[in-house]
Structure 1
Amino acid sequence: MRWIIFLVIFVIIDIYAFQAFRTISKNIWLTVAYWTITILVLGNFIYQFYGLNRSDFGNSQAFAFGFLIAFLVPKMIVLAVMFSEDVFRVPQAIFRYFTEGSNADIKYLPSRRSFISKIALGIAAIPFGAILYGMYRGKYNFKVLKYTLNFEDLPDAFDGYKLTQISDVHSGSFDNIEKVEYAIDLINEQESDVILFTGDMVNNKAEEMKPYTKIFSKLKAKDGLYSVLGNHDYGDYVRWGTDEEKNKNLEELKTIQKEIGFDLLLNESRYLEKNGEKIALVGVENWGAGGFKKAGDLKKAVSNIKKDDFKILLSHDPSHWEKEVISDDYKYHLTLSGHTHGMQFGIEIPGWFKWSPVKWRYKYWAGIYKEMGQYINVNRGFGYLGFPGRVGIWPEITVIELKKGSNNA
């Protein structure tokens, strides 16, 4: 039934889109090309997704979805523009019918205005080109975003301390090893004191990371590499034959992280020490609102540290910060999260403006936020999932410098 509804909606959208197309060209070969491409894109999408199990989602499905979006979104824009014209066009026809009578020579429905169709197509060309760019190059358009955060109670020895955060690798989506190697080199070029990974190394299975283990093993930081698990790392979206298979997959992923050099924090803490002073690094398992896995145990994670320690928390889902962390008795000076990907789509002018539809789902969805004297950085993600690209919200490598001073600065 849902496929029938989808096809009906698609046909309605295409009726309007084809009307606009016909106003600029009635060439028979262009018409054939239009419908051929439309049928191929739609047919491939149905072929790839009909009866699909989520755990079988791969690059072929991702690109089928991507091309559908690339063609459907512009057509929806055309629909919106042309339907807006019909809001005036149809009432005009009704008015003429009742005021001018049923004279056969009168054409009651005014013709579609050519310039309106051209405007609609012109507007639609913008997202069409942006989506194709996002699929071709945007998904590997890595950006290094740098922040300086001030803390009055930062231990003196850590004044100027630099950390690099990455999140949401989703290695099962990668299709270009050289681009991944470039990103790893870019991380190392930051020469941060510590590298922190905030979850979702894979889409579903540990085996997805095996082709990239050697590449990620090149990550280097003076004070080490630390990580936590994200919701995708547990294998919850796979139909496993037995619980033993699922558990084995998770243990294999933990082993891979160890091989890379990550110290995986499973509701645990570590101290980073420098010149006789220290800060606490706390890592919780995934905890997410809205039906996501809640394996994180904040109390357990801090059982071996002091309440007045300077603390950095790794927690994959930013909803954890909103729901539990900022109101906790312990003060978590800086929380690092990911998960949202910034929806991989939006408009952003760094330092000035950012918008994405994901803001309607997550209050804290990208960048630095401050509440109750505590900070969170929501990393936009290293990889991509579902849609095989990024538009406006680029893959991110975060570099944060800790400074001693007033956090009101």
Structure 2
Amino acid sequence: MLRWIIFIIVYIVMGLYTLQALKTVTRYPWVYYLFITIAVLVLGNFIYQFTAGEEEGRVLSRSKSYAFGLLLTVLAFQLVTILFLFSEDIFRVISSGYQKFFGQSKEFTLPERRKFLSILGLGLAAIPFGALLYGMYKGKYNFKVLKYNLEYDDLPDAFDGYQITQISDVHSGSFDNRKKIEYAVDLINKQKSDVILFTGDMVNNMATEMEPWSDLFTTLDAKDGKFSVLGNHDYGDYVDWETEEAKSQNLEDLKNLQRNMGFDLLLNENRFLQKGDDKIALVGVENWGRGGFKKAGDLKKAAANVGKDDFKILMSHDPSHWEDVVLHDEYHYHLTLSGHTHGMQFGIEIPGWIKWSPVKWRYKYWAGIYKELGQYINVNRGFGFLGYPGRVGIWPEITVITLKKKA
């Protein structure tokens, strides 16, 4: 309760501060009332969704997700505006103090706010405000196909030109637009890859979240099949289950659902993709994550009966596994496919110029292709979304990787 009170007080103070900028810019009362109404409704909805409106057994329902997204949008607007007002207020206080002690004025009076700075602050605040709204309305379904060619000296000859489509982090419990998902599934099939690999987090929490979408994902097709591994959300660890049996049953239901959709689920296992006399090993581990995330992945077990000299592709949900374990393993894993980070669903990307997201402060390898010690990893930005119900700058991704024999 104390945290709620502190949060509400801070939110109100920020709102009142932002209101000062609006009063400096315009004298129309309806603008003030509109801002106050929006701020109060957003706060009220957020409090309701996370207290009285909480749904049993779910950590972050769709309604709670949107309540959080709208609150984040208003807070971003307020924070940017306050940065300008606060910097101006520091100058106003210093200026008034100087006039009182060293000037001719005997009273401490603050000069009026400068309209220009308030307009500038509100204008800049409108950028993240509009971007976050766009991210919830359009950005979360702005699917991008990213294509890479990776060259290897030791790629088996028959696999020269072999094409892989990777998807990750579906988070089906967040979906709210069937036509957009139909479009994305069709976009995956249009790549006509040899194999489809899914690298974890099919759901947010519960297997039932995937049931309305399973018929669509069943239509995913590749001539060498489709394979999957589990992500941290697939285990149901973020739900307050009534019994351990219920939690275990949920995981079994999800495993069976994936298999019924045609996925070959690799649980610390491997398969060989064969072309004539040539083969490559496909290794799949359960989730292994740093910093409190589940460490069910067993690389040694997963690579049992795989030769040291075999060409190896590893599916591991969390890229920290690659950094902490895979890179230094006695086996050379030519390509690792991960997801998990979502690119934080927020950032700036201009190909060839800039790639930035706050998530880089937590994950060294957070989006795209990286190469270390002669081994590659692709960190997929994710197919779906979680928490904030949108994406800004970091768009949902379908990765297409073509393996090439180095000349």
The reply to whether TM is greater than 0.5 is yes
Change (3 A) 1:140 1:223: same
Q: How does 1:374-385 map to 2 (within 5 A)?
A: 374-385=375-386
Q: Could you tell me how far apart the structure 1 residues matched to 2:310 and 2:290 are?
A: 27
Q: Is the 8 A contact 1:96 1:108 kept in 2?
A: no
Q: How does 1:195-214 map to 2 (within 5 A)?
A: 195-214=196-215
Partner of 1:234: 235
Q: Could you tell me how far apart the structure 1 residues matched to 2:7 and 2:57 are?
A: 19
Q: Could you tell me how far apart the structure 2 residues matched to 1:122 and 1:32 are?
A: 19
Q: For 1:155-183, what per-residue CA distance to the aligned partner results, in whole angstroms no more than 9, with x for missing partners?
A: 00000000000000000000001100100
Amino acid at match of 1:161: Y
In the alignment, does 2:49 pair up with 1:38? Answer: no
Q: Could you tell me how far apart the structure 1 residues matched to 2:153 and 2:386 are?
A: 39
- Kindly state the Cα deviation for residue 123 of structure 1 after the two structures are TM-superposed: 0.6
Partner of 2:64: 61
Q: Could you tell me how far apart the structure 2 residues matched to 1:34 and 1:15 are?
A: 10
Q: Could you tell me how far apart the structure 1 residues matched to 2:336 and 2:210 are?
A: 26
Q: Could you tell me how far apart the structure 2 residues matched to 1:265 and 1:7 are?
A: 47
- Kindly state the Cα deviation for residue 154 of structure 1 after the two structures are TM-superposed: 0.3
Q: Could you tell me how far apart the structure 2 residues matched to 1:330 and 1:100 are?
A: 76
Q: Could you tell me how far apart the structure 2 residues matched to 1:199 and 1:56 are?
A: 19
- Kindly state the Cα deviation for residue 56 of structure 1 after the two structures are TM-superposed: 4.1
What residue ranges of structure 1 are gaps of 5+ in the alignment?
Answer: none
Partner of 2:129: 128
Partner of 2:404: 403
57, 69, 82: which one pairs with 2:85? Answer: 82
Q: Is the 8 A contact 1:54 1:237 kept in 2?
A: no
Amino acid at match of 1:87: I
Amino acid at match of 1:55: R
Q: TM (normalized to structure 2)?
A: 0.97
Amino acid at match of 2:23: R
CA root-mean-square deviation: 1.3
Change (3 A) 1:196 1:249: same
Q: For 1:29-81, what per-residue CA distance to the aligned partner results, in whole angstroms no more than 9, with x for missing partners?
A: 22211111110011111111137578242111011111111111021011112
What residue ranges of structure 2 are gaps of 5+ in the alignment?
Answer: none
Partner of 1:99: 102
Question: Is the partner of 1:236 in helix, strand or coil?
Answer: coil
Q: How does 1:288-367 map to 2 (within 5 A)?
A: 288-367=289-368
Q: For 1:108-151, what per-residue CA distance to the aligned partner results, in whole angstroms no more than 9, with x for missing partners?
A: 21111100000001111111111111000100000000000001
Q: For 1:342-395, what per-residue CA distance to the aligned partner results, in whole angstroms no more than 9, with x for missing partners?
A: 000000012331100000010000000000000000000000001000000000
- What fraction of aligned residue pairs are identical, expressed as a percent? 66
Amino acid at match of 1:69: L
Q: Could you tell me how far apart the structure 1 residues matched to 2:316 and 2:391 are?
A: 24
Partner of 1:273: 274
Q: Is the 8 A contact 2:99 2:105 kept in 1?
A: no
Q: Is the 8 A contact 1:173 1:203 kept in 2?
A: yes
Q: Could you tell me how far apart the structure 2 residues matched to 1:332 and 1:317 are?
A: 15
Amino acid at match of 1:43: G
- Kindly state the Cα deviation for residue 12 of structure 1 after the two structures are TM-superposed: 2.7
Partner of 1:149: 150
Partner of 2:259: 258
Q: Could you tell me how far apart the structure 2 residues matched to 1:30 and 1:93 are?
A: 30
Question: Is the partner of 2:227 in helix, strand or coil?
Answer: strand
Q: For 1:268-306, what per-residue CA distance to the aligned partner results, in whole angstroms no more than 9, with x for missing partners?
A: 000000121000000000000000000000000001211
Question: Is the partner of 2:165 in helix, strand or coil?
Answer: strand
Partner of 1:172: 173
Amino acid at match of 1:94: G
Q: TM (normalized to structure 1)?
A: 0.96
Amino acid at match of 2:175: F
Amino acid at match of 2:234: D
- Kindly state the Cα deviation for residue 101 of structure 1 after the two structures are TM-superposed: 6.1
Question: Is the partner of 1:392 in helix, strand or coil?
Answer: coil
Q: For 1:305-362, what per-residue CA distance to the aligned partner results, in whole angstroms no more than 9, with x for missing partners?
A: 1111000000000000000000000000000000000000000012331100000010
Amino acid at match of 1:393: I
Partner of 2:6: 5
Q: Could you tell me how far apart the structure 2 residues matched to 1:318 and 1:351 are?
A: 23
Q: Could you tell me how far apart the structure 1 residues matched to 2:352 and 2:151 are?
A: 18
Amino acid at match of 1:252: D
Q: Could you tell me how far apart the structure 1 residues matched to 2:13 and 2:300 are?
A: 54
